[in-house]
Structure 1
Amino acid sequence: MERWLIFIGLTGALLQVSFAKPYYYYFVNTSLTWTDAQAVCRRNYTDLATIENEADDEDVKMSSLNYTGKAWIGLYDEFVDSWKWSLNDSSFYGPGELTFRDWDTGQPSNHEGDEKCIGLYELTGKWHDYTCSDLFHFVCYNGTVNDTSSFVLVREPKSWTDAQTYCRENYIDLASVRNMTENEKIQSLPRSKNVWIGLYGEKSWSDGNPSLFRNWATGQPNGFASNPLLSVGATCTAAAFGNQEGWFDEDCTLTIPFICYRRGPENANGFRQIAGDETSITLQWDKINNNTNFVLLFNGTETFISAPDGDGPLTHTVSSLTAGTKYTFTLFSEFENLRSNGVKTSAITAPANANGLRQSAENETSITLQWDKINNDTNFVLLFNGTETFISAPDGDGPLTHIVSSLTAGTKYTFTLFSVFENLRSNGVQISAVTAPANANGLRQSAENETSITLQWDKINNSTNFVLLFNGTETFISAPDGDGPLTHTVSSLTAGTKYTFTLFSVFENIRSREVSITATTGKMRFLTSVDVCAESSTSKYYGLNG
């Protein structure tokens, strides 16, 4: 991570800055007590340093340059709001029950800065703070009986941590005391010694951050200040630099340098993809204010986007992308050169349309479609008659084939095919395809003579034409206007000869299955007549049927 080092004057002091996200840390080389350092940080920055993780801890070290010694951070003992119950279930506590206390006079005292666990004092039954390693009897919470809390006194000396473990393994947890009724019930148990309950103290961060990250030096915290001349127990925390590393608890009146932080701007809300095509992605997010700009990080390149005038969301389109690809974008808010920790979104380009969408086969009730596969990650949706069918990408190469059934013969249909990648669709490609028409009904021979045959069949509709196949030659016959059967005469035939005719219905250049008929021309016949006028005989030929 790139870091900036900046030198700024503060009452003549040396100041350096290192930034992490979401904290920007400032080392102030002026020796002050912890309380005075806190006041300076709150006045000029945000607060004394809060450290949430190892990355933050490294950035704090980077802020100090070559300094050797200790510097205040924001961790300290706060004996009002830093107490917690071992049973950490917010639903278990009603209004005011998390903060119920029954302290004895002068408690909590944090004697020698090392009393972080709470027990009932054997003489008064009131609450005292003790060193957590002390060995006491303890009270476990065992649920409810008839809507009343049940407590169990365990007469076995254990440290607070061991008592907590025992209660969690055998009951529910160390006892939480939510009100005076439960307090009195525990006080009434037949105890003769101090007993642990579930309350314990956690060091707090100056800004109220709940982070539990700690980087204590070996043997820390020990409850003692490093300077034995200071009379108060160690209740504040200093980070060591140079020859020593880690955190130390120190007397808060010690005067040493300190680390402040400034929080970067908040992240933008609603960072999302609102549109995409094969080569671009459109991103959108909510505006923060007129003073907060943005930096979009994509593929190692940063794009500065200024805050626009007016309200409403910001929109930015990233172009020159690859179809059907997932990309990651990081958006930083930026105010006075300070950045937020960034918010990420994954976005995808639309996949390319499938190539080669075509009708590959058909019959009277189905159409077979075929198209080229794109890749193993791109699926398809076929839209037909308002219904969508999901078709997953198959293994292997080669085209995809899909059959649409239960169709009507001789009908044109429109199909739209979408490619789908990560739930984003292409713009779709359309095709018109037709079912094969039905065969003509009633194909028959209706008349004939020595040289011709007349065929007849039922009309299907005005859109269905016909092709008659005879002796290797096809004759196109269009559908006539009006109703009634179609009639077609085949001429120049040989008398007394059997012929085979095949008729196809044709719709949009798609043919039906064939229907065939055998038909025969009329035979020749010979007659002799007497020409009375010429008184001579002549021979004449007449065509006779059959």
Structure 2
Amino acid sequence: MDYWLIIFVLTGALVYVVSAQTRLYTFVSTPLNWREAQSVCRQNYTDLATAESTADISAIIGTTSTYTDEAWIGLHDDLVNSWRWSLSDNSFYAEGETEFRNWNVSEPNNLGGSELCVQIRAGSTYFGVWNDENCSSQRQSVCYNGTLNDTASFVKVDTLSNWTEAQRFCRENYVDLASVRNQQENDIINFLSDGFFWIGLHREKQWSDGSTSLFRIWKIGQPSFIGEGCVSTAFNDSGRWSEQDCSLSLPFICYTTNTPPNTDNFKSIGQNETSITLQWNQVN
């Protein structure tokens, strides 16, 4: 398979090398699905594009002046590694406590591709096991209300709400949605009452390169939370993002740091005063 790369040149400098950060972005016009694009970027650059600021977005959309649609970046769903507690204070957790889980059998399963929040099934029937759940579901919730004599205090909230509403209520009236750091705390919550309750565990999309950047620039109405696990940037909408089916074939943005991309497999097939067109031949 041949890949095409257009590098735009202005006064002797590559336009894609415009980021004020450490990343140098490259637009690859060959449509691939997200995983294929990730593989090409990792083989020849550093990874699919990560963005940390509006300056990075400007650099990304400055990589081409002829393409005006969607292109893959590195943000995507990671069902295993993307879980986070609503209460993010690191001092609250001893070593390993942020990783405590009490999943039910075959959970988390991201049923329907839209389960980004976690409920505990409390009481004698379910014994406090967890499952991922659509964040818009209406559930009771458990709030964390501080620590007394080295023991966490939890409050059961009977009012039904979605996860975001439960988080807001807990933060306004207590400390936060419950973090469950160990089996002892899980048992405390399990004995509060029978039922399904929101806890503070939820997940967000992750960057392909493992970056922790929380910068987001979603289109209106995005993210959609309907099971589309990968993210594209829109060249015709100031670089704003939307969720897409990862199997969709799109051009993509790679980045490299400090050193230019591996061009061993590229050959020049055309040049004018504004651009150089390179063809990349895949090595099987």
- Could you state the TM-score of these two structures normalised by the residue count of structure 1? 0.43
1:109-141 residue CA offsets vs partner (Å, 9 max, x unmatched)? 223332211111365232122222222111011
The CA RMSD over aligned residues, in Å, is 1.9
Q: Which residue of 2 aligns with 1:429?
A: none
Amino acid at match of 1:18: Y
Which residue pairs with 2:183 in the alignment? Answer: 180
Contact 2:3 2:28 in 1 (8 A): no
Alignment coverage as a number of residue pairs: 247
> What SS does structure 2 have at the residue aligned with 1:24?
strand
Q: Is the 8 A contact 1:45 1:262 kept in 2?
A: yes
Give the deviation of 1:14 after TM superposition. 2.6
**Given the alignment of the two structures, is residue 250 of structure 1 paired with residue 241 of structure 2, yes or no?**
no
Match of 1:119 in 2: 119
* Distance in 2, Cα, partners of 1:243 & 1:144: 47
Per the TM alignment, residue 101 of structure 1 is displaced from its structure 2 partner at its CA by 0.9
Q: List per-residue Cα deviations over 1:285-308 (Å, max 9, x = no partner).
A: xxxxxxxxxxxxxxxxxxxxxxxx
Structure 2: how far apart are the matches of 1:61 and 1:246? 10
* Aligned position for 1:378: none
The reply to whether residue 159 of structure 1 matches residue 162 of structure 2 is yes
Give the 3 Å change call, closer, same or farther, for CA 55–191 of structure 1 in structure 2.
Answer: same
Give yes or no for contact 1:140–1:151 (8 Å, CA) kept in 2.
Answer: yes
Q: For structure 1, which runs of at least 5 residues remain unmatched after alignment? A: 1-9, 225-232, 266-546
Higher normalized contact order (CA 8 Å, seq sep 6+, divided by chain length): 2
Take 1:210 and 1:244, find their aligned partners in 2: how far apart are those partners? 23
| Correspondence 1:39 to 2:39 | yes
1:14 alignment partner in structure 2:
5
- 1:241 aligns to 2:239 (yes or no): no
Offset from partner CA, 1:477-521 (integer Å, 9 cap, x none): xxxxxxxxxxxxxxxxxxxxxxxxxxxxxxxxxxxxxxxxxxxxx
- 218 and 113 in structure 1: CA distance in 2 versus 1, 3 angstrom threshold: farther
Residue 222 of structure 1 corresponds to which residue in structure 2? 224
- SS for the counterpart of 1:26 is strand
Contact preservation (8 Å) 1:27, 1:64: yes
Amino acid at match of 1:102: N
1:301-380 aligned within 5 A: none
Q: What is the CA distance between 1:263 and its match in structure 2? A: 1.6
2: distance between equivalents of 1:111 and 1:244? 33
* 1:202 and 2:204 matched: yes
Q: 2:171 aligns with which of 163, 168, 172?
A: 168
Cα offset, 1:43, TM superposition: 1.2
Query: Percent of aligned pairs with the same residue?
Result: 49
| 1:12 CA drift (Å) | 4.3
SS at match of 1:35: helix
Aligned mates of 1:108, 1:146 — CA distance in 2: 33
Structure 2: give runs of 5+ residues left out of the alignment: 8-14, 260-284
Look at both structures and tell me which one has the larger radius of gyration over its CA atoms. 1
Q: What is the letter of the counterpart of residue 28 of structure 1?
A: V
Query: 1:55-134 residue pairs with structure 2 within 5 A?
Result: 55-121=55-121, 124=126, 125-134=128-137
* 1:234 CA drift (Å): 0.9
| Mapped partners of 2:242, 2:144: distance in 1 | 35
1:346 alignment counterpart: none
